[in-house]
Structure 1
Amino acid sequence: MNCPYTTLPASSFWRQAVAERSTSELDPHLTARLRFGPDQRIASAGSCFAQHISRALKARGYNYYVTETAPGYLSPEQEERFGYGIFSARYGNIYSTLQLLQLLQRAFGGFQPADQFWTDPDGRVFDLLRPRITPKGFVSMVEAEADLKQHLRAVRKLIETADVFIFTLGLTESWVSKLDGTVYPTCPGCGSAGDYDDARYAFHNLSVTETTGYLAEAINLMSAANPRLQIILTVSPVPLAATMESRHVMQATTYSKSVLRVAAEEMVRRYDNVHYFASYEIITNAKNAGAYFADDARSVTPEGVARAMNLFFAHFTAESAGATARSAGDGAGKRPAAPSVEPQIVCDEDEFYRALAASRKS
């Protein structure tokens, strides 16, 4: 029979690769082109789900690279409250590809936002691009600007000296400044710093072309600053908490995640130093039937996180030898899985919607 499909491996066929396998055996990866070791500098950024990767890297003894460290007098609880160590620098959640691009442009001197700081009635100053790093704000604009200058130096150092940069794409829905297109992690004034003003801020849902274009610009900028940098892209499996589009939130989620997945695929096809980790497919595939989501059908369970992280290390590190098939099952031959209770994830988006839900009840 002269048919090209006859020579394909089992992984190419749904029946053999999915239907005939148990949930614990499902693995949407083939052999990764990138492997990193415990001595390499591994940095990360992205949406809330990205924090699971940084925590797993630390827990397994890898060199999670942080260039913006906390003052020695802060306790571990205070460090987290002020945004230290959650990501490789103190930038908070980065949800969209435009947000990532603008952060890099600011760090390398190519963009200066026109509307970044907000002063509350008590005179405290907040950075609208990092609304949760100072829960009570800065005491003055001088302090805020000094902190920002130090932060951008840390971001630049991070990109110039890291070996691997992992970015988790989270959203396409964004809020931007009408003055100059500055993009914010959440809508100013909605559960966080700032005052919402429809004359100053606008909702914008990034298209496929925009999402892909901004991500390509970001990769070009990082690669120019650090030619040896390897980049791993992944898509958060967490659905949207709410949408500004005039359609059901399930449709809005499908659109957003589809666009992000396409953008990641385009980058892998376009750049030799870009790789993809299938966290989205691991958590949301039909075989799981929602087993890796909590009762709210949105929060990923500790078991789901453990499964995703075990596969991540199985494919991108030296732990890969023999670990893939066992990574969710009996625990043999692999490092400890995630604890039964996950630590609190710091998420600008969730803080926003908690405040919104409270206001709607009042």
Structure 2
Amino acid sequence: MKIEYDAGTALSIMRGNPVRGWTSGKAERMAKSRLTTGDFVQIEHKPKFQIDPSWPIFTMGSCFAREVENVLMMRGLSLVTRGHGVPAEHFETWDATTGRGGGAAGGELSRGALNKYSVRSMTHELKRVLLDESYPHDGLIELAPDQWFDPHASGLRLLDRETAFANRQRLSAATATIKQARICFFTLGLTETWLDAETGLAMNAHPGPAWLARMPERFRFIDYGYEATLADMLQIISMIREHCHPEMRFVVTVSPVPLGATFKDADVIVANSGSKSVLRAVAEELFRRFDFVDYFPSYEIVLNSPRALAFQEDQLHVARDMVSCVMSHFERSYLSGEAARSEAA
């Protein structure tokens, strides 16, 4: 959807925008100045709407979405997936010696399994709970005798049938909490996706290189482009507004967490840029089309902040202080106006 103004309107908008210039305008508002402070970058964001602090929030997306959830809960906001998850000892990262893994201690439920990396896998998960779509074996794959893999989860190890299917029910129940929400926060992660050729379902994660090599005909790689990704997001938004709150509002962002590795014949840095560019373009189109969809620039805030501050040592995961900075910006954008009105009342 294009944006078009006559010359007079365009000039008026430009002159009224204090952060319009890269090297022009007030010194402290120029992009050049804001990008060279050595601190977290400050980006001006004008939200389309305010969020009532009492609104239940549903989040979906990559591991960055889990970091967002943690901050939302710390701020006392209503997160509908709170208390949902999978036992920590069922994760690949579980360490029996320390009793920790999956982002939680033994006996605790971790939301890490809820990570959704591709838009197509998000679509399948939502169809499961909103359209009652059913899949063979609930979508799980038996890779070895009584060793089940959930391709729609994240980070879980192979488990026996009873345990794997119980976890699948836990995860579906977590996704179903979207029916209680008033606002959805979607973090778009990547475009590179793996398909289960036997079921035709997009997997959230593949079972690992060894299993891919053993079952080359079952698993297929696909890198979704702009048209397919936009179509998926349009379907998601329509489905949610039809089967959940009819006036659901959406905040969409792009995860700053890069590809861990690419399956394309390209430098991972270049492949990551291409993937994020597609997702950013989709988010922009949704922002332009709907007054109930806003784009929040967490991607730009992180990527334009000094890398030493923005990322952990692995240069993959976003640093906690950076997440806190992003969410403070989110609060100022979407919650401060509502809070001010409440105080005035």
Asked if these proteins are the same fold (TM beyond 0.5), I'd say yes
Paired residue secondary structure (1:239):
coil
Residue type at the aligned position of 1:84:
L
Of stretches 248-257 and 78-87 in structure 1, the one that deviates more from structure 2 is 78-87
In the alignment, is the contact (CA less than 8 A) between 1:129 and 1:184 conserved in 2? yes
Tell me what 2:316 maps to. 298
Once the two structures are superposed, residues 86-144 of structure 1 have per-residue CA deviations (whole angstroms, 9 ceiling, x without a partner) of 27xxx5210111111111111123643347223354624332322545x462443xx65
Q: Does 1:152 find its partner at 2:175?
A: no
Matching residue of 2:260: 241
Alignment of 1:92-111 (within 5 A): 92-109=114-131, 111=133
Shift of 1:13: 1.4
Question: What amino acid is the match of 2:223?
Answer: N
1:19 to 32, 55, 61: 32
Gaps of 5+ in 1: 323-362
Deviation at 1:155, TM superposition (A): 2.5
Counterpart of 1:206 (choices 224, 228, 236) is 224
Tell me, yes or no, if structure 1 residue 125 matches structure 2 residue 148.
yes
Counterpart of 2:92 in structure 1 is none
AA at the equivalent of 2:204: P
Maintained 8 Å contact 2:253/2:297: yes
TM-superposition CA deviations, 1:146-204 (whole Å, max 9, x none): 65456435533x2222011111111100100223421112222448x888511111000
Residue pair 1:42, 1:63 contacting (<8 A) in 2 also: yes
Q: Which amino acid aligns with 2:297?
A: A
Verify the 8 A CA contact 1:167 1:232 in the aligned structure 2.
Answer: yes
> 2:46: which partner in 1?
31
Matches within 5 A, 1:134-153: 135=157, 137-140=159-162, 144-145=164-165, 148-149=168-169, 151-153=171-173
Structure 1 29/180 Cα, relative in aligned 2: closer, same or farther at 3 Å? farther
Do the aligned residues in 2 keep the contact of 1:313 with 1:320 (CA within 8 Å)?
no
CA contact (8 A) 2:84 2:171 kept: no
Confirm whether residue 314 of structure 1 aligns to residue 332 of structure 2. yes
- Does 1:182 pair with 2:201? yes
TM-score (norm 1): 0.74
- The verdict on how the C-alpha distance between 1:76 and 1:320 changes in structure 2, with shifts beyond 3 A counting, is farther
Q: Which amino acid aligns with 2:195?
A: V
SS of 2:111 mapped into structure 1: coil
Q: Secondary structure at the match of 1:224?
A: helix
Q: 1:153 to 1:195 in 2, by over 3 A?
A: farther
Question: Is the deviation greater in 299-308 or in 143-152?
Answer: 143-152
Aligned counterparts of 1:283 and 1:71: Cα–Cα separation in 2: 29
**What is the TM-score when the length of structure 2 is the normalising length?**
0.78
Corresponding pairs, count: 312
Is the 2:52–2:338 contact (alpha carbons within 8 Å) kept by the matching residues of 1? Answer: no
Q: Indicate the SS of the match to 1:49.
A: helix
Q: Which of residues 233, 236, 244 is equivalent to 1:218? A: 236
Alpha-carbon distance in 1 for matches of 2:279, 2:86: 36
Is the Cα–Cα contact under 8 Å of residues 92 and 130 in structure 1 kept in the other structure?
Answer: yes
Structure 1: distance between partners of 2:152 and 2:119:
14
Q: Structure 2: which 5+ residue stretches go unaligned?
A: 1-7, 24-28, 90-98, 341-345
Q: Residue type of the partner of 1:31?
A: K
Q: 1:306 to 1:214 in 2, by over 3 A?
A: same
Matched with 1:41 is: 56
RMSD of equivalent CA atoms: 3.4
Residue-by-residue CA offset, 1:35-91 (whole Å, 9 max, x unaligned): 22432211211101111110001111111212764799x99989946883527xxx5
Rounded to whole Å, the distance in 2 between the matches of 1:302 and 1:282 is: 14
Q: Which amino acid aligns with 1:241?
A: G
CA contact (8 A) 1:101 1:214 kept: yes
Task: Give per-residue Cα distances to partners, 1:284-308, cap 9 Å, x unaligned.
Answer: 12x6365423444333223322221
Give the match for residue 51 of structure 1: 66
**Amino acid aligned to 2:119:** T
Percent of matched pairs sharing the same residue: 25
Other structure's SS at 1:38 match: coil
Structure 1 pair 20–84 and aligned structure 2 pair: CA distance change class (3 A)? same
Pair 176,83 (structure 1): closer, same or farther in 2 beyond 3 Å? farther
